[in-house]
Amino acid sequence: LTGEQVLHSLLEQLQLSQAPVLPGAGAQGAAIPAPMRAQYVALLHRSHGGRSREK
Amino acid sequence: RFSQSFREVAGRLLASEASEASALVLAFGLERRLPAGSELVRAALRLFQRPPPPAAPRRPERSARAQVTVEWLRVLPDGSRRAWLVDSRLVNVHDSGWKAFDVTDAVTFWRQLSPPRPPLLLRVSVRREPLGPGAAGAHRLVRFGAQGPEGAEAAPRLELHTLDLEAYGAQGDCRPEAPAEGARCCRRESYLDLQGLRWAAHWVLEPPGLLLHECAGACRQPPAPRAPPAPFLGPRRCVAAETGPVPVIVRAAAEGGEARPRLLSLPDLRVRRCGCAADGAPLPRPAAP
């Protein structure tokens, strides 16, 4: 898997033709709302361990 | 036989119907027939085509064929039935003998069902060929062994060709110290540093990088077949057999030019399992095709 494939997948999901040019943000992590962070962590765990839990 | 392991399962006739297209429904009890730790290479439905009655008139060559179609029949939880096409071929109505149909897809789908699994149901229908108002009813001469009083010799059979995954499958995760050259098919870990990519640095908030896997190594090829191999199948290669999504949080432009976080799930980016599969052969898929 290459960076190009990840970029392609992201652009496809967001229906964009190219990566957006965004200004750098200082404390990026803090800008993520707590519910979204919790949902992200849940998806991350499922992505890593879904299979072993099924077993 | 070309496979290392070869089993034959006798079918049971559930129903037959005669209309525009005559049809049979066959049931195969496959539970425990496919050994654990084995990979299905090919499943063939063998039907014995009985010779037409001696009194049957000889038809012109053009109308002396019938289209035999095999479908996987599934009874859904709400009680409705749905059929998926798995194979279809023309047969000569004056012919007789064993006919083989490739039902690998049907058995592959059936294997994805949650246990306890119902018997595998295959519907075999015979339609006239060519289609059209002028077509003759020659297809009614096609009868298979399940429809008559013959003995078990002519009963429908399902041949299951399997390979032992211990000897022919992937070996799980690659050993980091082992060279990739000549290694057996395995899952190799790789890391993609997103923060090191210019396009991702200010766009992707989470994660900073992706711990991903790729399938590497070689697959053992089955012994050379004595019978003709399944058509269109290439050599076995090491490929992703099971994948999963990867969550990411990006900054997406919102109204007013403000960039807000957005959670996305990128499908199939994570390789969960590698396996050996022939080019053109179906990989295990979710139950509903």
Res B229: pLDDT: 52
The enclosing H or E element of B190 equals strand B186-193
pLDDT digits (tens), chain A, 55 positions: 678 888 999 999 888 888 887 765 544 444 788 888 888 888 887 776 544 333 3
B161 exposure class (CB count in 10 Å sphere: 0-12, 13-18, 19+): buried
CA distance B79 to B222: 41
Collapsing DSSP states into helix, strand and coil, what is residue A6? helix
Length of chain B: 289
Residue B152 — left, alpha, or beta (φ > 0 → left; ψ -120 to 50 → alpha)?
alpha
Pairwise CA distance, residues B239 & B241, whole Å:
6
**Binding-face residues of A in 33-52 toward B, CB within 8 A:** 33, 36, 39-40, 43-44, 47, 50-51
Measured distance CA(B29)–CA(B31) in Å, rounded: 6
Residue B55's contacts (CB-CB under 8 Å, 6 or more residues apart) are none
B146 DSSP β-pair partners: none
Helix, strand, coil percentages, rounded to 5, for chain A: 65, 0, 35
What are the residue ranges of helices labelled H in chain B? Answer: 104-111, 165-168
| Amino acid B286: pLDDT | 39
Q: How close, in Å, is residue B206 to chain A by CA atoms?
A: 8
Cross-chain Cβ contact B197/A3 below 8 Å: yes
Q: Do A40 and B264 touch (CB under 8 A)?
A: no
Between CA B49 and CA B154 the distance in angstroms is: 9
Give the residue carrying structure tokens 């190799």. B188
DSSP B288: -
Decide if B164 contacts B212 (C-beta within 8 A): no
Q: How far is B27 from chain A (nearest CA, A)?
A: 29
Phi-psi region of B269 (alpha: psi -120 to 50; beta: other; left: phi over 0): alpha
Contacts 24+ apart (CB under 8 A), B141-145: B141/B52, B141/B53, B141/B56, B141/B66, B141/B93, B141/B94, B142/B22, B142/B49, B142/B66, B142/B68, B142/B91, B142/B93, B143/B49, B143/B50, B143/B52, B144/B24, B144/B47, B144/B48, B144/B49, B144/B50, B145/B47, B145/B48, B145/B49, B145/B50
B107: left (phi over 0), alpha (psi -120 to 50) or beta: alpha
pLDDT on residue B143:
80
Contact list in A for residue B214 (CB cut-off 8 A) is: 1
Q: Is this complex's ipTM strictly greater than 0.90?
A: no
CB nearest A47 (choices: B199, B203, B245): B245
Check CB contact of A20 with chain B, cutoff 8 Å: yes
Residue B122, pLDDT score: 92
Report the pLDDT value the prediction gives residue A54, as an integer from 0 to 100: 38
- pLDDT (0 to 100) of residue B151: 61
B273 to chain A: closest CA residue: A51
pLDDT at B225: 59
Position B96 scores a pLDDT of 87
Which residues does chain B have with pLDDT short of 50? 1-4, 134, 284-289
Instruction: Classify B54 as helix, strand or coil.
Output: coil
Gap between the Cα atoms of B2 and B285, Å rounded:
24
Task: Collect all residues from B whose CB is shorter than 8 A from any CB in A.
Answer: 190, 192, 194, 197, 199-207, 210, 212, 214, 242, 244-253, 259, 261-267, 269-270, 272-273
Q: Which residues pair with B22 in a beta bridge?
A: B126
H helices of B134-282, in order, are: 165-168
Predicted confidence at residue B110, as pLDDT, reads 87
Predicted confidence at residue B105, as pLDDT, reads 82
pLDDT in the model for residue A11: 92
